[in-house]
Amino acid sequence: MDDAHRAFLDDLLATSSPSGYEVPGQRVWVDYVAEFADEVRTDEYGNAVAVHDGSDDCDTSIAFTGHGDEIGFIVREVTDDGFLRIGRVGGSDKTVAQGQHVTVHTDDGPVPGVIGQMAIHLRDGDDDDAPEIAEQHVDIGVADGDDAADLVEVGDPVTFEQRVRELEDGRLTARGMDNRVGIWAAAEGLRRAVEAGAEATVYAVSTVQEEVGLQGARMVGFDLNPDAVIACDVTHATDSPGVPGKKSTGVELGEGPVVARGSANHPALVAAVRDVADERDVDVQLQATGSRTGTDADAFYVARGGTPTLSLGLPNRYMHTPVEVIEADDLDAMADLLGAVGARAESFAPFDVGL
């Protein structure tokens, strides 16, 4: 990953975009893809689509998608004593929330705060269970409710304060890898397909509100109507201590992107991606998703009567925490794989099961 492409990833990670409040992150993404796309369009809720038109004599189209939103919190009450009661946005984890620095994103700018954690000295020694998110609070340092109300409003989104750090062996940690890496890969996959002279029409898509029910994918899946969709998201790397054996998938950091099989994942598209991976010498891992993928793929594959879809995952440790960990080489390999698939998309069409 060269400096320019890493800077794009860092910009995405530095921009808070909780579900329903994705505009700042979507602007970063749109500005980047506009440099090489033939067209970039957005809809009323902020879904963004970049288009490579392809050649006039090729009628195949393929979309690379990721979701631009992240989990977070929302201000649900300003108390009389100046604290903020919060609610979940998506699958926020109550066990990692307390004791964290946060930012409240207001119309007038960011307001710093912390999610309070009672000192260990004051807690009942037998009570180490984390309270529900609804029982936790943000402290922004004010004296009373009037002062708090001058700064924040009910409905303002809240995210953990961002910090991107490099670990050893090319690994990166940050909040919101889920799913900045997916929209990074979709954009880079488009760019690499364009550079390879793709004959097919290739779309890169950054959807909104995946974390609250795949809502953006439902909108885009109806409107776009491509021949195939590759939904790029994170998937659990289960190679760290403490993962229960019954939930282990064998997915590891550093072993390449993950091709899902089962449920939403169309067998012809699975085969096409695996063939390209073999040709390009890109290592991929396999994952079983017998009932659902838990990604935008679950919405795209039933759109318009059925759209051949694949969930392509990036191994990610500690999902939905402020310290998600990925390996940069896996991410670069994902983008390379997408670009190569886009460059050859017409050779795999039509995507059907051969009945």
| Residue carrying structure tokens 């794009």 | 8
Q: How far apart are the two ends of the chain, measured CA to CA in Å?
A: 42
Specify the pairing of strand 39-42 against strand 48-52: antiparallel
Are residues 78 and 66 part of one domain?
A: no
Q: Mean pLDDT throughout 191-206?
A: 98
Higher pLDDT, 326 or 2: 326
Report the CATH number at residue 330: 3.40.630.10
Check the annotation: does 166 bind a ligand: no
Question: Is the peptide bond between 18 and the residue preceding it cis, with omega within 30 degrees of 0?
Answer: no
Q: Is the same domain home to 143 and 190?
A: no
Do the Cβ atoms of 204 and 33 come closer than 8 Å?
A: yes
Does residue 63 register a pLDDT over 80?
A: yes
Burial state string for 18-33 with b = 16 or more CB within 10 A and e = fewer than 16: bbbbbeebbebbbebb
Is 134 among the domain residues?
A: yes
Is 209 in the same domain as 222? yes
Tell me, what amino acid is at 215? Q
Residue 96 · residue 322 · CB < 8 Å: yes
Catalytic residue among 22, 188, 199, 210: 210
Question: Mean pLDDT, to the nearest integer, of 61-84?
Answer: 98
User: CA distances (Å), 253 to each of 8, 250, 257, 299, 339, in order?
Assistant: 22, 10, 9, 27, 21
- Position 126 scores a pLDDT of 72
Q: Is the pLDDT confidence value at 49 over 90?
A: yes
Show the domain range for 106. 73-160
Per-residue model confidence (pLDDT) at position 193: 98
Predicted pLDDT of residue 123: 83
Query: Do 268 and 338 share a domain, yes or no?
Result: yes
**What CATH number corresponds to the domain at position 88?**
2.40.30.40
Task: Assess if residue 314 is contained within a domain.
Answer: yes
pLDDT at residue 241, as a whole number: 94
Same domain, 276 and 205: yes
320 is in an annotated binding site: yes
- Kindly state the tokens that stand for 63: 């979309």
- Residues 89, 207, single domain; the answer is no
The reported pTM is: 0.96
Whether the per-residue pLDDT at 324 is higher than 80: the answer is yes
Q: How does DSSP classify residue 90?
A: S
Q: State yes or no: pLDDT of 122 exceeds 90.
A: no
**Same structural domain for residues 147 and 89?**
yes
Position 223 scores a pLDDT of 92
What phi and psi values does residue 217 have, to the nearest 5 degrees? -65, -35
Average pLDDT estimate for 126-131: 82
Query: What would the pLDDT profile of 217-244 be if each residue is shown by its tens digit?
Result: 999 999 999 999 999 999 999 999 999 9
329 is in an annotated binding site: no
Counting the structural domains of the chain, the total is: 2
The tokens for 242 are 């403490």
CA 207 – CA 7 distance, rounded (Å): 21
Q: Is residue 135 among the annotated active site residues? A: no
pLDDT, the chain, mean: 96
DSSP 230-258: EEEEEEE---STT--GGG-----TTS--E
Give residues with Cβ within 8 angstroms of 105, minimum separation 6.
16, 21, 156, 157, 158, 159
**Contact partners, residue 237, CB within 8 Å, separation at least 6:** 251, 252, 253, 315, 316, 317, 325
According to DSSP, the residues that pair with 316 across neighbouring strands are 236
DSSP-based three-state secondary structure for 106: strand
Q: What percent of the chain has pLDDT over 90?
A: 93
- Please tell me the least confidently modeled range out of 137-141, 241-245, 266-270: 241-245
Residue 39 in marked binding region? no
| 309 shares a domain with 264 | yes
* Closest CA relative to residue 16, chosen from 124, 95, 97, 109: 109
pLDDT at 128 over 80: no
Range 270-288 average pLDDT: 97
Confidence of residue 355 (pLDDT cuts 50, 70, 90): confident
352 annotated as belonging to a binding site for a ligand:
no
